[in-house]
C-alpha cells in the first residue's frame, strides 16, 4: 500500500509552496507534510471522498455554460492546503493595502480633475479608449471617496519565490464564498491539523464585509438596511450571492424587488410594504444596473438607481465606474500610480508587461507570440487569452491580426514559471500550478483576508486555474512559524 514519501516528490524547475527540495518540507508546512507522510493512498482517498461528500451536502456549487446550457457542478476542491508563512503574509498584506489605496485615489481622480492624465502619468489615449469609464459617474463623491470597496487581486509566485500581482479585479470580484467554504471543508477532513498548527482564521470576513457596507449608509444614525443585488439564479456566481446574503443576515434581492421613488430614494418591496434601502452590495454589471442611465433594455437593474446614488440617498458597492481601473492596460501603470498618489515605492511588483498600444512593445510582442501570454484588456475568467508556448501557428496568426486591428486592447507578459503545490493526483500528492486571490475590503479602514482563494490547475503542466476551464481550489493557510524557515530565507517576501 503506497505511502506519501516526500523524498520521491518531483520537485521540478518551479518554486513549490510546501516542499523546498525532495524530502525537505518548508517550516510552515512541516506539520502538514509529516501527517500526510503517515497516510496511505487509500487513507488519502477516504479523506478526499469525505470532502466531496461534504461539498455535496453543503450545496457548494458553481455554474458553467456549455453549448448554450447551464450546468451546476460541485465545487472542485483539493484537500491538501496551500501554506504561506505569516511573516511573508504581513508584507504581502501591506503591499495589497498600498495598492488598493492608490487605485481608489486613481478612480476618484478620473471622475473629477483627471490630474493623472494632465500630468502625463497615464497616457490620455488609455482613458479615451477605456470601455469601463462611465461618464455618468463624473462628479459623484461616494462615501470615504472609495470606489472599489471589494477588490480581489490575483497573485502568482515566480520561479525565484517572488510574489507578483498578476491583475486587480475591481468590478465585481467573486470567489470569497469559496475561500470561506474551503476552510469549513478542510476542518471536516483534516481536523487534527487545526489543533497542532497556528493557522490564522478567515471567518471574520463576513463581519468585516457587513461593517464596511453598513458604514457607507447615508443614514448613519439608524440601523442600516443592506441588501445584496443579484442578477438571479442563472448567474454563474449565484451561489456566492445567496451565501453572502445569508451569512450577513441581509436580504438577497433582484432588480424587480427594488424601486426608486420621485424623491430619488430606493425602496424594497416586501409583504409588509415598502422598506427603505440604504446600501446595495451589487453583483450586477454596470451596463445592466440602471436602464435609465445605461442599457435601456436591461431587466436586471433598477430604473433611477443612479439618480438615487448621485443624490446620496443610497450607497453602492462596488461603485459604478470602478471598472475603469479593472483594465489590464491600466494594470501596467499601477506602480507609477502608487508613486504618483502616495509618494511611495510599490511593495508588491507587477509582472513585467508589454503594451501593444506602444509601437516598440507591439513589435516585440508580434515577434515573440510563441513565448508570451497575450491578454485582452477587459476579459476575465481566463477567456480570450493566448498562451504562446501552447498555441498553434494558426492561433498566433489570428492573435496577430487582432493586435494590429486594436492594439490598445492587448497587452502581453512573459510565461511565468508559476509556483506549484502538492495536489492529489493519481492517489498521491503531485505538483500542480497555483495562483492566489486575496480579498481587500476598503471603507473607513482597509482589511485584507488572511490568505485568500487558492486556485489550482488540476491537469499536469497546465497553467489554467479557472474553475470554469477545469481548475480547482484549495484552502489557504497563513501559518505562524516559531523559527525562521531556511527554505524561505531567500524569498523576496521574507
Q: Per residue in 300-357, pLDDT tens?
A: 999 999 999 999 999 999 999 999 999 999 999 999 999 999 999 999 999 999 999 9
Long-range Cβ contacts of 127-131 (<8 Å, 24+ apart): 127/324, 129/408, 130/324, 130/327, 130/330, 131/377, 131/378
The gap from C-alpha 56 to its chain's centroid, in whole angstroms, comes to 24
Condensed to tens digits (0 to 9), the pLDDT of residues 227-250 reads 999 999 988 889 999 999 999 999
> Which DSSP category does 18 fall into?
S
Give the pLDDT score at 488: 43
Locate cell 493586435: which residue? 403
CB 16 within 8 A of CB 421: yes
Radius of gyration from C-alpha coordinates of the chain: 23
Condensed to tens digits (0 to 9), the pLDDT of residues 403-457 reads 999 999 999 999 888 999 999 977 789 999 999 999 999 999 999 999 999 999 9
Is residue 182 pLDDT above 60, yes or no?
Answer: yes
Confidence of residue 220 (pLDDT cuts 50, 70, 90): confident
Cell triple for residue 390? 501552447
Of 131, 119, 142, whose CA–CA distance to 325 is shortest? 131
Helix, strand, coil: what percent of the chain each, to 5?
Answer: 35, 25, 40
Confidence of residue 490 (pLDDT cuts 50, 70, 90): very low
Of 279, 303, 287, whose CA–CA distance to 172 is shortest? 287
Backbone dihedral angles phi then psi of residue 445, each to the nearest 5 degrees:
-125, 170
CB 40 within 8 A of CB 48: no
Give the pLDDT score at 63: 65
Q: Is 414 helix (H, G, I), strand (E, B) or coil?
A: strand
Of 464, 467, 461, 436, whose CA–CA distance to 451 is shortest? 436
CATH of 354-414, one of 3.30.70.1450, 3.30.413.10, 3.10.20.30, 3.30.1490.270: 3.30.1490.270
Q: Is 278 helix (H, G, I), strand (E, B) or coil?
A: coil
Is residue 6 pLDDT above 90, yes or no?
Answer: yes
Give the pLDDT score at 468: 63
Of 295, 296, 293, 318, whose CA–CA distance to 304 is shortest? 293
Average pLDDT over residues 356-363: 96
d(CA 4, CA 112): 59
Of 95, 169, 89, 78, whose CA–CA distance to 433 is shortest? 78
d(CA 25, CA 487): 9
Strand 163-169 relative to strand 61-66, pairing? unpaired
Give the side-chain half-sphere CA count within 13 A for 396. 17
Locate cell 508589454: which residue? 354
Is residue 109 pLDDT above 90, yes or no?
Answer: yes
Is residue 481 pLDDT above 90, yes or no?
Answer: no
CB 268 within 8 A of CB 257: yes
Q: Whole-model pTM above 0.75?
A: yes
Give the pLDDT score at 381: 57
Of 393, 356, 325, 370, whose CA–CA distance to 165 is shortest? 325
Give the pLDDT score at 379: 73
From 182-186, 294-298, 376-380, the region with the lowest mean pLDDT? 376-380
Q: Which helix (H) or strand (E) holds 328?
A: helix 328-331
Is residue 193 pLDDT above 90, yes or no?
Answer: no
Give the pLDDT score at 380: 64
Angle between helix axes 176-189 and 205-214 (nearest 10 degrees) is 150
CB 302 within 8 A of CB 256: no
**Higher per-residue confidence, 493 vs 274:** 274
Give the pLDDT score at 76: 85
CB 125 within 8 A of CB 408: yes
Confidence of residue 65 (pLDDT cuts 50, 70, 90): low
Confidence of residue 493 (pLDDT cuts 50, 70, 90): very low
Cell triple for residue 12? 521540478
| DSSP-assigned states of every residue in 329-363 | HHHTTHHHHHHHHH----SSPBPP-EETTSHHHHH
CB atoms within 10 A of CB 369: 19
Amino acid at each position: 500500500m503506497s505511502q506519501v514519501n516526500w523524498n520521491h516528490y518531483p520537485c521540478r524547475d518551479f518554486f513549490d509552496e510546501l516542499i523546498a527540495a525532495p524530502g525537505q518540507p518548508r517550516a510552515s508546512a512541516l506539520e502538514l507534510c509529516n501527517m500526510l507522510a503517515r497516510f496511505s493512498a487509500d487513507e488519502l482517498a477516504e479523506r478526499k471522498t469525505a470532502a466531496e461528500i461534504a461539498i455535496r451536502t453543503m450545496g457548494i456549487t458553481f455554474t458553467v455554460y456549455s453549448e448554450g446550457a447551464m450546468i451546476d457542478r460541485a465545487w472542485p476542491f483539493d484537500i491538501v492546503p496551500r501554506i504561506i508563512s505569516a511573516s511573508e503574509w504581513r508584507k504581502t498584506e501591506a503591499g495589497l493595502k498600498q495598492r488598493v489605496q492608490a487605485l481608489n485615489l486613481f478612480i476618484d481622480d478620473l471622475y473629477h480633475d483627471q490630474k493623472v492624465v494632465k500630468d502625463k502619468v497615464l497616457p490620455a489615449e488609455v482613458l479615451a479608449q477605456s470601455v469601463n469609464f462611465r461618464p455618468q459617474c463624473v462628479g459623484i463623491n461616494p462615501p470615504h471617496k472609495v470606489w472599489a470597496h471589494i477588490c480581489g487581486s490575483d497573485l502568482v509566485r515566480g520561479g525565484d519565490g517572488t510574489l507578483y500581482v498578476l491583475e486587480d479585479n475591481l468590478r465585481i470580484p467573486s470567489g470569497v464564498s469559496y475561500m470561506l467554504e474551503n476552510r469549513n471543508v478542510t476542518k471536516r477532513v483534516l481536523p487534527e491539523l487545526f489543533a497542532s498548527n497556528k493557522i490564522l482564521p478567515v471567518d471574520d470576513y463576513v463581519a468585516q464585509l457587513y461593517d464596511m457596507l453598513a458604514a457607507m449608509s447615508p443614514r448613519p444614525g439608524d440601523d442600516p438596511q443592506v441588501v445584496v443585488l443579484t442578477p438571479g439564479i442563472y448567474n454563474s456566481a449565484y451561489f456566492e450571492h445567496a451565501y453572502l446574503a445569508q451569512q450577513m443576515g441581509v436580504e438577497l434581492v433582484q432588480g424587480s424587488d427594488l424601486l426608486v421613488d420621485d424623491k430619488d430614494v430606493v425602496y424594497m418591496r416586501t409583504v409588509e410594504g415598502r422598506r427603505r434601502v440604504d446600501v446595495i452590495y451589487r453583483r450586477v454589471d454596470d451596463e445592466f444596473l440602471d436602464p435609465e442611465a445605461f442599457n435601456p433594455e436591461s431587466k436586471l437593474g433598477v430604473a433611477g438607481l443612479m439618480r438615487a446614488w448621485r443624490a446620496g440617498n443610497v450607497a453602492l458597492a462596488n461603485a459604478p465606474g470602478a471598472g475603469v481601473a479593472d483594465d489590464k492596460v491600466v494594470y501596467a501603470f499601477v506602480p507609477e500610480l502608487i508613486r504618483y498618489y502616495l509618494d511611495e515605492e510599490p511593495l508588491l511588483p507587477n509582472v513585467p508587461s508589454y503594451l501593444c498600444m506602444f509601437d516598440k512593445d507591439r513589435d516585440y510582442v508580434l515577434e515573440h507570440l510563441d513565448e508570451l501570454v497575450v491578454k485582452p484588456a477587459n476579459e476575465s475568467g481566463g477567456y480570450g487569452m493566448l498562451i504562446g508556448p501552447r498555441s498553434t501557428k494558426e492561433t498566433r496568426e489570428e492573435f496577430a491580426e487582432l493586435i494590429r486591428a486594436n492594439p490598445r486592447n492587448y497587452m502581453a507578459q512573459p510565461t511565468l514559471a508559476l509556483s506549484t503545490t502538492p495536489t492529489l493526483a493519481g492517489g498521491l500528492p503531485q505538483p500542480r500550478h497555483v495562483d492566489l486571490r486575496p480579498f481587500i475590503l476598503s471603507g473607513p479602514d482597509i482589511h485584507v483576508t488572511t490568505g485568500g482563494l487558492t486556485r489550482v490547475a488540476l491537469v499536469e503542466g497546465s497553467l489554467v486555474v479557472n474553475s470554469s476551464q477545469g481548475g480547482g481550489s484549495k484552502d489557504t493557510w497563513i501559518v505562524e512559524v516559531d523559527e525562521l524557515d531556511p527554505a524561505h530565507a531567500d524569498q523576496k517576501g521574507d
